[in-house]
Amino acid sequence: MIVRTLCGECSVGCGVRARLDPGRDLAIEGDTVHPANAGALCERGLALGEEKALAGRLLHPLVGGRRVGWDRAVAAITRRLADDRSGSRVAMQMAGDLLTEDYYAANKLMKGFLGTAHIGLAHGEGGGIAAAHIAALGEDVTPATYEDLEQADVLIQIGADIASTHPILFDRIEAARAQNGLRLIRIGRSEPESRAAPDLGLPVRPGTESTLLAGLLLHCRDAGLLDAAWLDQAVNASTHFWRDLRRGHDLWSVAQTCGLPPSAIRAFFDRVAAQSRLVSLFVPEDEDRPNRDLAAAILNLHLATGRIGRRGAAPMIIGRAGNGMGAREAGCLASDLAAHMDFAPDAVDRVARFWSAPSMARSPGLAGEPLVEAIRRGEIDILWLFGGASLDDPLMRQAIALSPFTIMATDRLDPDLAHHIDIVLPAVAGLERNGTMTSADRLISRHRPVLTPPGEARAPWWMVMKVANAMGWGSAFPYEHPADIYREHARLAAYQNDGARLFDLRRHASVSNPAYDELTPWRWGGAPFDDGHFPTPDGRARLVPSWL
């Protein structure tokens, strides 16, 4: 049996062909027809076959350390939730490699029915990236695709070493360098063991990358290399923006701040400023602090010079989590609502109507350090975690140790933390999952199950559905198949969306179960911003100061 599924180890979203023999021998190879990887797989993808091992797997629910059935586990959860119907003392944290259907169901339960927005991804994944996109572009949209990286003349790479974090993406870039003459410029200190040898390296002092790019923008303005017609049509920039940009961003100031000789800065400016096909790729090194200043500097450069919405010319700011984009689409962030909507009163009312939500959250919630501090102050009574990856986050380990009552859904449990977990729910693992994922460049693909879940392991969306039903909200969570959730997710994205938001999945609002099972990869949003229109109240993008 051959199953086409996804890797999910990083945000590239590589397609996988998994062959399972009758004896449960599992062979993994790249899917040659998937647009993300065209058959290539890195070591992490090839190692997916090791997931069939059951050693250490959680197979049954545990309450107070004792094995129970699902009905008793769900009853124990609902009793705790019923003590606080307002939901304000409940928090939920999700791993970044779950499926979009899991994120949607969990977000709906928290924000629409428990009435709280204390939900987010472990490691803070996605929040800073989403905020940067919204501030500049009006919506959390990654403008570039992987094909843009290959069609550019110059690629500026900033942040994490993509040779290790996104190997397949790195291989595509290296192939473009060999075949198309793409030139790679690396800003920041390179890892000694990295395979990426740039054409030009700028080892600036850590934290000064945004200063360098702001200096480049000032150089472009002084050299007459801004796209004046594009700025007049599509971008808002206050007079104070250009005045304030000049402070500390001249050649000499930038050289001093970045710790490089002026000649190196000048060479970088001259090499990049006039390039029309430029892509800037930023992968944050620190997932807890995605560096909004640097993201703003990248977006400013592309917006002011018109290098956006064109083939081979766009900014690309991406995270590491396998389905961080899907989580953001479903609104699984403390700062957002759902379907790329915020907490504006009309958006809250719109989602409440669509969900028939009895207790709609009306303001952003807590995540990261503020959430941990709220737990420390005794303001959070229940912490619900989905996915073992959350245990890699030091903040979440603190939260678990401090939480008065913790529920965890995972496939394996760290024995050092077991005594902190009050209810343990056995979750499906990678190749057992059934749903969709969205890659960093907005490509939605099917993650089909290859292996049968062992024991009583279940999907996160199923757990949420069972709890919601037990709480009396069964009519709002009538899910029997992940396709039910996908259709609802698509309908919400289209609901009263007259083009104000690019995120629109209406083409799949009535997709059948068989069509969902056979879904081929597709990208929402088309070629965003190619017409010079942005999803902001005035239709224009915004230049956001990166030096505040």
Measured distance CA(389)–CA(398) in Å, rounded: 14
Beta bridge mates, 131: none
Instruction: Give the three-class secondary structure for 389.
Output: helix
Contact 327, 103 (CB under 8 A): yes
- Model confidence at 124, pLDDT cuts 50, 70, 90, reads low
Measured distance CA(196)–CA(176) in Å, rounded: 13
Which amino acid belongs to residue 19? R
pLDDT reading at 150 higher than 70: yes
pLDDT (tens digit, 9 = 90+) per residue, 394-423? 778 888 889 999 999 999 988 888 888 999
Residue 171, classified by CB atoms within 10 Å of its CB into exposed (0-12), middle (13-18) or buried (19+), is middle
pLDDT reading at 499 higher than 90: no
**Quick one: which H or E segment has residue 401?**
helix 394-402
pLDDT (tens digit, 9 = 90+) per residue, 53-112? 778 899 999 999 999 999 999 999 999 998 766 567 999 999 999 999 999 999 999 999
> In terms of Cα–Cα distance, which of 32, 142, 71 is closest to 425?
71
- What values do phi and psi take at 118, rounded to 5? -80, 70
Measured distance CA(255)–CA(202) in Å, rounded: 11
Measured distance CA(177)–CA(393) in Å, rounded: 36
pLDDT of residue 289: 47
pLDDT of residue 381: 93
Contact 424, 67 (CB under 8 A): no
pLDDT of residue 125: 67
pLDDT of residue 58: 93
Give the DSSP letter of residue 205. P
Measured distance CA(174)–CA(107) in Å, rounded: 39
pTM of the model: 0.95
Average pLDDT taken over every residue of the chain: 92
Which amino acid belongs to residue 482? P
Q: Of 5-19, 125-139, 340-354, 357-371, which range is least confident?
A: 125-139
Q: What is the mean pLDDT of residues 418-434?
A: 93
Residue burial 361-381, b: 16+ Cβ < 10 Å; e: rest? beeebbbbeebbebbeeeebb
pLDDT reading at 288 higher than 50: no
Backbone dihedral region for residue 374 (phi beyond 0: left; psi -120 to 50: alpha; all else: beta): alpha
Give the DSSP letter of residue 425. E
**Residue position matching structure tokens 């995270």:** 319
Q: What is the mean pLDDT of residues 281-305?
A: 85
CA distances from 527 to 147, 357, 467 (A): 12, 34, 40
Measured distance CA(546)–CA(548) in Å, rounded: 6
**Quick one: which H or E segment has residue 212?**
helix 209-222
Contact 176, 163 (CB under 8 A): no
> In terms of Cα–Cα distance, which of 443, 489, 487, 424 is closest to 106?
489
Backbone dihedral region for residue 309 (phi beyond 0: left; psi -120 to 50: alpha; all else: beta): left
pLDDT reading at 192 higher than 80: no
CA distances from 440 to 4, 303, 535 (A): 19, 20, 20
pLDDT reading at 374 higher than 80: yes
Measured distance CA(12)–CA(177) in Å, rounded: 19
